[in-house]
Amino acid sequence: MTELNKLTLAEARDALRKGDVTSVELTQACLTAIDGADALNAFVHKTPELALERAKAADERIKAGDAPAMCGLPIGMKDLYCTKGVASQAASGILEGFVPEYESTVSQKLQDAGAVMLGKLNMDEFAMGSSNETSVYGDSVNPWKIDDRKLTPGGSSGGSAAAVAADLCLAATGTDTGGSIRQPAAFTGTVGIKPTYGRCSRWGIIAYASSLDQAGPMTKTVRDAAIMLEAMAGHDMKDSTSADLPVPNFEAMLTGDIRGKVIGIPKEYRPEGMSEEIAKLWDEGAAMLKAAGAEIREISLPHTKYALPTYYVIAPAEASSNLARYDGVRYGHRAKLGSGDGINEMYEKTRAEGFGPEVKRRIMVGTYVLSAGFYDAYYNKARKVRTLIKRDFENAFAAGVDAILAPATPTSAFGLGEMKSADPVEMYLNDVFTVTLNLAGLPGIAVPTGLDSKGLPMGLQLIGRPFEEGDLLNTAYALEQAAGFVSKPAKWW
Amino acid sequence: MSIDTGTAAKVAKLARIKVEDDQLPALAEEFNRILGFIEQLGEVDVEGVEPMTSVAPQRLKRREDVVTDGGYQDKVLSNAPDAREGFFAVPKVVE
C-alpha cells in the first residue's frame, strides 16, 4: 500500500471498511506529514490530540458497523470555520486568542459524518486575498516548485490547497467568495468545488461577504469532492439563506456519461492578450468533452467584464458591515489605551492594530460606497449590474446549455512577493474568471487538466445550473478521466 | 470623482479605523485607483433593472418568534478582553 496520507478519501474509506487500515493509522500518517511540512506553513493550529481521540472513536464506530460517509477520514479545516475549543481567527490579528464556544454547522456535519480534524489551515486574512499573503500567520507556500522561488498556493484557501496537494491531509474545507476555492485548487493541481449559494450552511463560518460566501470541499479527485460535499451540504435553520432542498447522493451520479450534454464556451472569457497556454488548455478541455460525446456550443455572457468591478463594490460593502463587530469588546484583540482614551479611541486603535492593510482597505472602500451620497451611484448600481450578470447565465441555461467550460485562472501560480508592489487592482484581476459565479450564486468546480510549459499545474473550471451539483460533478468527472492528470509536486519541504 | 485626504480621513473615521495623518495621502490615492476601476460600471445601461436582493429565488423561512436557546452568560463572556461581574467592560462612555 502507498503511504497512507497519499490516499484519496474514496481509497481510504474503502480500506477502512475492509479493515485493511485503521483511522488511527491514517491520522498518524497525516500528523507525521504535517510535522514534516512546516516549511509550507499550511497548518497553523495543529490539533493532534483531538485528532487521535476522534480517530479512535471512528475506529470504534467502524468496528460496530456504524460507519457514516466520512468515518475515520483525516481532513484539514480552514481557519475561517469556528471550531469549538480550537483557535479560530480567520488568519487575523484581531481574533488573536479567540476560542469559539460553538462549532460551525458544516464542521459539525463533517464531525457527525465521522471525519477527523487534524488542525486549522492558513488562509488570507478574513478570506480577502488571492495569494495567501495577507495572513497574520505569514504566507502559505505552494508545494509545487520549479526554481528557487517559493510560489503562492493561491488564496484565500491557500493553506487548504497546499495541504491537500502536499498530502498532509486527505482533503480540506475551503470557502469561496470570489474564487477562493477554485483559484487555489487550480494553482496546486487539486479539485475544488464552490457549491450553489445556499447549499452549505454559513452558520459559524466567519463572514466576509454574506451574499457571496459559500463553503466547499478541496480534494484530490472529483469523486472525493462528491463524497465530501454531500457530508457538508444541507439545510440549516440557523442560516436563513440555506436551501431547504434534499441533498442527493453525489457520488452515485458519477457515471462519466456526458453524451448529449451541451457545454457552453463563453466568448467573453477570451479577452485580448489572454495567455496562449491558457487558451490552448481551454481548447483541449473542450475537445475532451466533445470526444466524450458532449456538444460544444459558443455562448455569450455579455456582462462578464463588469463582474470584477461589481464584486469590488458588493464584497467590500458587505465586509464593512460584517467586520463592524470587531470592536475590542466581545472577543479578540483590544488595544492598550492611553489615559483619557474613550470608547471611540478604543474602537479606532483596536481596529487599526488588529486588521491588516488589505482588510482595512476593503472595509474603508465598503464604508465609502455605502456612505450617504454614494449609495445609489455605487452600491445600488452594482446590485443592478449583478442582476444582469445573473441574467446572462439564466439565458444561457434557458437556451439548453448544461454546463459552461472556462479557464479557472489567468495564469499558473506566481511567486510569493511578486505582486507585493502591484496595485491592489492587479491582484484583483486573478479573480476575473471565478467571480462571476459568486455574483450569480452558481456552482463551479476547478479540475486540474495539465501542466504549463514551466511544469506548473493548470486547471479548468466548469460552471453548472443552480442546485445541480451532481450533474456538474459528473461532467467534471468526465473531464478528469479524459485529462488523466496525475502529476504530483516533488517533495522539497 | 477624486478623493482627497479630507474625504479619506472622513471614511476612516466612519469605519472606526485610526489612520495617522501622514498616511492619508497614500490612502486617498489607493481609494482613487480602486474607485477608478469601479467607475466602469457607469457604462452599463441598467434602465428598468431591479437591484438584486437575493441571489436565490427563494423566500426566507419564517419561524415563531420565540426563545429557542440561551442561558450561556459565561460562554458569551469567555472570550471578552475585559469582562466583570457578568458584563462586558468598556472605557467610560458617558461622564
Of residues B94 and A405, more confidently modeled: A405
Q: Which residues contact A334 (CB under 8 A, 6 or more apart)?
A: A328, A346, A350, B81, B82
Chain A residues with CB inside 8 Å of B93's CB? 342-343
Assess whether A180 carries a catalytic annotation.
yes
By the CB < 8 Å criterion, does A493 face chain B? no
Distances (CA, A) of A145 to A141, A455, B22, B34: 9, 9, 40, 32
Residue ranges of E strands in A288-425: 295-299, 403-407
Q: Considering only alpha carbons, which residue of chain A is nearest residue B75?
A: A101
By the CB < 8 Å criterion, does A380 face chain B? yes
By the CB < 8 Å criterion, does A370 face chain B? no
Which chain B residues in 25-64 lie under 8 Å from chain A, judged by CB atoms? Answer: 27, 30-31, 33-35, 37-44, 46, 49-56, 58, 60-61, 63
Assess whether A78 carries a catalytic annotation.
yes
Rounded distance between C-alpha atoms, residue A8 and residue A220, angstroms: 6
By the CB < 8 Å criterion, does A255 face chain B? no
Share above pLDDT 70 across residues of chain B, in percent, rounded to a whole number? 98
Whether omega for the bond prior to residue A156 falls within 30 degrees of 0, making it cis, is: yes
Assess whether A320 carries a catalytic annotation.
no
- Most A CBs within 10 A among B3, B18, B24, B47, hence the mutation to make, goes to B18
Neighbouring C-beta atoms of residue B57, cutoff 10 Å: 7
Chain A residues with CB inside 8 Å of B80's CB? 329-331
Q: Considering only alpha carbons, which residue of chain B is nearest residue A439?
A: B55
**Burial class, A493, CB count within 10 angstroms (exposed 0-12 / middle 13-18 / buried 19+):** middle
Listed as ranges, residues in chain A with pLDDT below 70 are: 1
Rounded distance between C-alpha atoms, residue A443 and residue A36, angstroms: 35
By the CB < 8 Å criterion, does B15 face chain A? yes
Paired sense of beta strands A191-194 and A444-451, if any: antiparallel
User: Is residue A413 within 8 Å of A152, Cβ to Cβ?
Assistant: yes
Q: What is the mean pLDDT of residues B74-95?
A: 93
Q: Which residues contact A213 (CB under 8 A, 6 or more apart)?
A: A127, A175, A176, A177, A202, A205, A207
The pLDDT tens digits of the residues spanning A417-453 come to 998 877 788 888 889 999 999 999 999 999 999 999 9
Between chain A and chain B, the number of residue pairs with CB atoms below 8 A apart is: 163
Distances (CA, A) of A353 to A41, A99, A356, A461: 23, 20, 8, 38
Ordered by where they begin, the domains of chain A are 4-260 (3.90.1300.10)
User: Is residue A103 within 8 Å of A111, Cβ to Cβ?
Assistant: yes
Enter the DSSP assignment of A379. I
Residue B1 has pLDDT above 80, yes or no: no
Distances (CA, A) of A481 to A243, A291, A349, A449, A485: 31, 12, 54, 10, 8
Give me the catalytic one of A156, A160, A201, A242: A156
> For residue A150, what pLDDT is reported?
98
> For residue B95, what pLDDT is reported?
65
Rounded distance between C-alpha atoms, residue A343 and residue B94, angstroms: 10
Distances (CA, A) of A41 to A47, A58, A132, A375, B30: 15, 28, 10, 40, 30
Q: CA A437: distance to chain centroid? A: 13
Give me the catalytic one of A130, A180, A320, A412: A180
Max Cα distance, chain A (Å): 74
User: Is residue A421 within 8 Å of A339, Cβ to Cβ?
Assistant: no
Q: Considering only alpha carbons, which residue of chain A is nearest residue B82?
A: A329
> For residue B93, what pLDDT is reported?
82
ipTM > 0.90 for the complex: yes
